[in-house]
Structure 1
Amino acid sequence: MDTADTPRPSEFWDQFYSERHRVWSGKPNASLVREISMVAPGRALDLGCGEGADALWLAARGWTVTAVDISAVALDRAAQHAEEAGVAQRITWLRRDLTEWTPEGEFDLISAEFLHSPIELPRELILRRASEAVAPGGLLFVVGHVAFPPWSRHGHDEAEQAQLPTAEELAVSLGLRADAWEVETSTSDGREVTGPEGQIAIMTDAVLKARRR
């Protein structure tokens, strides 16, 4: 596609969220619930927070959350959900382009759930930058697709699929050295998902949880 025809990321994601009243389920990601439920709350950063389900879940458990997304539509929706859930005072919503933004300060948890995009997104650069903002003793938690579902807007050619790393490959590419990080979870989870027209597929997710020493 000619770059002149490519929408700006903010325009793309605002349009994406405007297509439906609610895009996602409103439930926190299952991997986040499983891996973080027993972690003592502190300061959390939610990258690509979308409609805010993960941020709301963290806030309800005592975390002070900074939730970042590029879409004003998604953030407005997320803020409304936070008000309805009674956790708005624990969440700061930031509209930022993660390609250009650098986290300020340190966080006890940095979470990036399915940080993928049909348009160009330097995911590894964003995660590397985020990892530098994890406080000593804090966690970097990343969940991503190993492959996209058949109905996804993402590309499906061999080259693009090959770029989706496993949890082990992601830890290496992010430079999480053993002397500085302890990898607590590095696994691939399979789950059954239903597409927008009732299609069924088995999705494999790469789950990485690493603690800064």
Structure 2
Amino acid sequence: MEPVADERELAKAQRAHWQDTYAAHPGMYGERPSDPAVHAAEVFRAAGAQQVLELGAGHGRDALYFAREGFTVQAGDFSAVGLDQLRAAARAQGLAERVTTVEHDVRDPFPLPDASVDAVFAHMLLCMALSTEEICALVGEVRRVLRPGGVFVYTVRHTGDAHYGEGTSHGDDIYEHGGFAVHFFPRDLVDSLAADWTLDEVHAFEEGDLPRRLWRITQTASR
């Protein structure tokens, strides 16, 4: 189903906002990996993964960490500006051979064959300005490209977050605050997205100065 006009306009505006933000603040999240990425690397290694697909990689702090940890990484994002910064950092760190990038909007099917990826990571990508329908389709694509037994680790802000219900409402639990639109997850959405998976863990944590309240979800594709 095609997104309604309001959804298309919101998606277009958010892409432009992220482009402008990365351009104005190069390397805005720093070089240190996120805590969820450090956890995910341990989970992926224990599962025997060698290849990692990161969705919403931005300027690459986590993608580069995975590469330093010995994984081969495909990093996707809809911001060409962020990916330019990622490629420059990969070259500077001697990781260019371990990291490839693709400019891609997760509202579209992944340009990957079925069962071609060992592990998928997405830090706060699923809780961007995506409708519930788009999120379900995205997780379906993750399931399609993962090999049997592959692991998906993702994080989302949830409805217990201080910004839930604040700012401009776009419906479907999406609220825009400070120019960034966020889809805040209720717990039943997490459970429904794991219906055809093994749900290994839902871990609550906090991040940032607000602090943001998130869940880190780990689920495994059925064999």
SS in 2 for 1:27: coil
Q: What residue is the counterpart of 1:126 in the other structure?
A: 138
Q: What residue is the counterpart of 1:198 in the other structure?
A: none
Pick from 43, 66, 70 the counterpart of residue 51 of structure 2. Answer: 43
Pick from 84, 97, 105 the counterpart of residue 92 of structure 2. Answer: 84
How do 1:1-213 and structure 2 match up within 5 A?
7=12, 10-37=15-42, 39=45, 40-105=48-113, 106-115=116-125, 116-118=127-129, 122-147=134-159, 150=163, 155=168, 160=173, 164-166=184-186, 169-177=188-196, 181-191=197-207, 193-194=208-209, 201-213=210-222
- Please state how far the C-alpha of 1:89 moved relative to its aligned partner: 0.5
Structure 1 Cα separation of the partners of residues 162 and 20 of structure 2: 21
Letter of the 1:109 partner, please give it. Answer: A
Change (3 A) 1:26 1:41: same
Change (3 A) 1:10 1:165: closer
Structure 2 Cα separation of the partners of residues 154 and 97 of structure 1: 25
Structure 2 Cα separation of the partners of residues 154 and 74 of structure 1: 26
Q: Give per-residue Cα distances to partners, 1:105-150, cap 9 Å, x unaligned.
A: 3211011110133587933322222122111121011111115565
Alignment coverage as a number of residue pairs? 200
- Does structure 1 conserve the Cα–Cα contact (< 8 Å) formed by 2:131 and 2:172? no
Structure 2 Cα separation of the partners of residues 138 and 11 of structure 1: 33
Structure 1 Cα separation of the partners of residues 89 and 17 of structure 2: 22
SS in 2 for 1:185: strand
- Please state how far the C-alpha of 1:50 moved relative to its aligned partner: 0.3
TM-score, length of structure 2 as denominator length: 0.75
Structure 2 Cα separation of the partners of residues 209 and 80 of structure 1: 30
Two-structure CA RMSD over aligned residues (Å): 3.1
- Please state how far the C-alpha of 1:174 moved relative to its aligned partner: 1.9
- Please state how far the C-alpha of 1:18 moved relative to its aligned partner: 1.5
SS in 2 for 1:123: helix
- Please state how far the C-alpha of 1:49 moved relative to its aligned partner: 0.5
Show structure 1 runs of 5+ residues with no match: 195-200
- Please state how far the C-alpha of 1:203 moved relative to its aligned partner: 2.3
- Please state how far the C-alpha of 1:99 moved relative to its aligned partner: 1.0
Show structure 2 runs of 5+ residues with no match: 176-182
Q: Which range is displaced more, 65-74 or 8-17?
A: 8-17
TM-score, length of structure 1 as denominator length: 0.79
